[in-house]
Amino acid sequence: MRMTCQRRVILEELRGVCTHPTADQVYEMVRRRLPRVSLATVYRNLETLSDCGIIQKLEMSGTQRRYDGNPATHYHTRCLVCGRVADISVEPCRLLEVPCIDSNGFHIRGHRLEFIGVCRDCREAEGSTDRTEAGPPCIS
């Protein structure tokens, strides 16, 4: 894959944030540096970078796709109230990464795991700060 100017800027912008932006948000970020870039170009290059393993495409249940500039295996958490996505400091389960063939004949190559809950800001907004009620605090 050739690293075009657009791909380089998209990658730099993604690696400069930890917010896991949508394609539209990446487009707005990139437009500050490349005002003439099209939304289609951003979408196409996000797919290319994702397909090559340079970035991660997060397809979390019930939400728009988001993108992560960190391609290393790691987990994410999603707030059920505001939709915020953040990295979570949980060591990936290496036992699930072992390539194998399951009973249905699938050759397993990896896994994705999504943690869901309510972020600190949303818990505070609803006045729920009791840890037993809200569960463990979000890790940002």
Write down which residue in 56, 71, 86 finishes a domain. Answer: 71
Task: State the Cα–Cα distance between residues 69 and 88, nearest whole angstrom.
Answer: 15
* Number of structural domains the chain divides into: 2
CA terminus-to-terminus distance, the chain: 33
pLDDT in tens, 5-55: 999 999 999 999 988 999 999 999 999 999 999 999 999 999 999 999 999
pLDDT in tens, 54-88: 999 998 777 789 999 999 888 888 898 988 889 88
Task: State the Cα–Cα distance between residues 24 and 45, nearest whole angstrom.
Answer: 13
pTM of the predicted protein model: 0.75
Write down which residue in 21, 48, 71 finishes a domain. Answer: 71
CATH number at residue 85: 3.30.1490.190
Mapped onto helix, strand or coil, the DSSP state of residue 10 is helix
* CA 131 to chain CA mean position, Å: 26
Q: What is the CA radius of gyration of the chain?
A: 17
Residue 139 domain boundaries? 73-140
